[in-house]
Amino acid sequence: MHKLKLDELNRVSVPEFKEQKKLPVVVVLDNVRSMHNIGSVFRTGDGFAVEQIYLCGITAHPPHREIEKTALGATQSVNWKYFTHTLDAITELRNSGYRIIAIEQAENSTMLNEFIPKDTEKYALIFGNEVNGVGDEIMENIDACIEIPQFGTKHSFNVVVSAGIVLWDFFAKLNF
């Protein structure tokens, strides 16, 4: 077995990526403060071919050198929009037929392993601030909440790790 070289990966070009089938998911970043985390979410979104990323509140947006350090060009492939207020993003997504889901530890949340996405629905997955999580005002305006099961002492994943876990789960369960 040998490790594949870059020219063996069959990577699509940015124009080809823009035209290919997308996972029916918009990632919403609610006041994410680390530009490295933002860039990593772009790279993860590219890897799972999400429809878009919505950057909200204090979440920085491209172009920015610190975002590009971890995005590695994914800000060019993944479509994105910026909203001053996360609620405005939620309103737009709801009006476009998306099911609004927070990824958070909350009362009456559904564990990720028990959540079954439907291939007939579109999803907006909200990931929150590194310290405070998804904002309380946002939590009052969601359709559902998914929680990632955790078994250690911290009960906290980095926002990028959370995005990777949840996007992979949706990708696998939707047989994308």
All structural domains of the chain: 20-173 (3.40.1280.10)
Number of H helices, E strands in the chain: 7, 7
Q: Is the pTM of this model over 0.95?
A: yes
Cβ distance 125 to 41 under 8 Å? no
From first to last of its 176 residues, the chain has per-residue pLDDT tens of 999 998 899 899 999 999 999 999 999 999 999 999 999 999 999 999 999 999 999 999 999 999 999 999 999 999 999 999 999 999 999 999 999 999 999 999 999 999 999 999 999 999 999 999 999 999 999 999 999 999 999 989 999 999 999 999 999 999 88
Q: Could you give the CA distance from residue 2 to residue 72 in angstroms, rounded to a whole number?
A: 24
Q: Order of strands, edge to edge, in the sheet holding 23-30?
A: 79-83, 50-56, 23-30, 122-128, 98-103, 144-147, 110-111
